[in-house]
Amino acid sequence: MPTKARLSQAAVEERRQAVLRHVVAEGESGIGALAERFGVSLMTMHRDLDDLAARHLLRKERGRAVAYPALTMETATRFRVDANLAVKSALCAAAAARIAPGSTLLVDDSTTLYPLAAALAGIEQLTVVTNSVGVAQRMAAAAPGADVTLLGGHYRGEFNCCTGPEVARALARLHADVALMSATAVLQGRLYHPMREFVEVKEAMLASAARALLLVDHSKFGKTATHAYGTATGYEAVITDAATPAEEIDALGALGVPVETTTAPEGTC
């Protein structure tokens, strides 16, 4: 009897992300039911859940997997970093094409901007100022020629970044050429975030830059969150992907905001 082909690590991770999405949608799920749903053995499902629990993506309890609360899921970096990665990379590549050598950039804590480091690698004499530890680490690895400043303040471990008045005061003393930012939710051109302290950083970055670009993938549109903080009119352009609903793009157009749509390379996810 032929042995079953061993899955690649990418295929295993794809299954684990599907398991995570299912548990999040249901709130909790029995381990036996998950194994049956995804066509794997109980031992394999235990391994999948152990891996997801070790990354703090869900809780593994006696006989079941349990999702974290909705607010945590909506905002925490560990849940967002691998979501729509190919699309985020395409957005960052489009933004990088608008950056001139020698520019000073402000980059917020959004995981949408994590692929920006690789996209900026070929642009010389950049200065990057960010409140995101994740962005700073990626810039150091992918674009070591850039001069990177990490803004200190209250460290938020769930989001791997700093917020608070110290960050806002530092930004008030800066003048950047371009701010590169994202949003948790966008509805009819209006921007939203579930946490006020992150809104304050975004507003400070916008005020300290000569121009700004908003990078938002399709999954953020048509939604709201607790705090509204203006519209996309403060941005030179919104960069999104082709899957964004037409009515949301039309709403941006009605506000006079240019929209650039990108497409992730085929065969990526």
Q: Both 63 and 194 in a single domain?
A: no
Task: Name the residue range of residue 195's domain.
Answer: 84-262
* In-domain check, residue 1: no
Domain boundary among 29, 44, 68: 68
Structure letter (DSSP) for residue 36: H
In the prediction, which pLDDT does 5 show?
Answer: 65
Q: How far apart are CA 61 and CA 16, in angstroms?
A: 17
Q: Are 171 and 182 in contact (CB under 8 A)?
A: no
What's the pLDDT at 69? 63
Has residue 267 been placed in a domain? Answer: no
Q: In total, how many domains does the chain have? A: 2
Half-sphere exposure of 165 (CA within 13 A, CB side): 0
pLDDT the model gives residue 73: 45
Structure tokens at 85: 């990665």
Shared domain for 110 and 150, answered yes or no, is: yes
CB–CB of 95/116 below 8 Å? Answer: yes
Q: Indicate if 60 and 92 belong to the same structural domain.
A: no
Check: CB of residue 243 under 8 Å from CB of residue 222. no
Nearest in space to 48 (alpha carbons), one of 33, 62, 65: 65
* Structural domain contains residue 241: yes
| pLDDT value, residue 1 | 46
Alpha-carbon distance of 247 to 26, in angstroms, equals 29
Give residue 82's pLDDT: 55
Considering the domain architecture, whether residues 115 and 167 belong to the same structural domain is answered as yes
In a domain, 55, yes or no: yes
Contacts 24+ apart (CB under 8 A), 52-56: 52/16, 52/19, 52/20
Q: Of all residues in the chain, what percent are helix, strand and coil, respectively (each to 5)?
A: 40, 25, 35
**What's the CA gap between 89 and 18, in Å, rounded?**
21
The pLDDT value given to residue 269: 38
Single residue among 44, 68, 92 that ends a domain in this structure: 68
215 and 93 both lie in a single domain: yes
Is 0.75 topped by the overall pTM? no
The residue ranges of DSSP E strands in 131-189, in sequence order, are 147-150, 154-156, 161-163, 176-181, 185-187
Residues 110 and 61 both lie in one domain: no
How high is the pLDDT of residue 80?
Answer: 55
State how far the Cα of 27 lies from the Cα of 64, in Å rounded to an integer. 11
Are 205 and 157 in the same domain?
yes
| Residue ranges in the chain modelled with pLDDT below 70 | 1-5, 69-84, 265-269
pLDDT at 38: 95
**Residue 38 sits in the same domain as residue 170:** no
Q: Is residue 220 included in any domain, yes or no?
A: yes
Instruction: Mark whether 54 and 93 lie in a shared domain.
Output: no
Q: What's the token pair of residue 256?
A: 């006079």
Considering the domain architecture, whether residues 34 and 105 belong to the same structural domain is answered as: no
Examine residue 268 and state whether it is found in any structural domain, yes or no: no
Q: Does some domain include residue 3?
A: no
Question: How high is the mean pLDDT of the chain?
Answer: 88
* Other CB atoms within 10 Å distance of the CB of residue 77: 19
Assess if residue 207 is contained within a domain: yes
CATH code assigned at 202: 3.40.50.1360
CATH number of the structural domain spanning residue 24: 1.10.10.10
Query: So what's the pLDDT on residue 267?
Result: 42
Looking at the fold, whether 49 and 143 belong to one and the same domain comes out as no
Examine the fold and report which residue of 68, 94, 112 is the final residue of a domain before the chain moves on.
68
Predicted confidence at residue 224, as pLDDT, reads 81
For residue 85, count other CB atoms closer than 10 A to its CB: 17
Tell me: do 45 and 95 sit in the same domain.
no
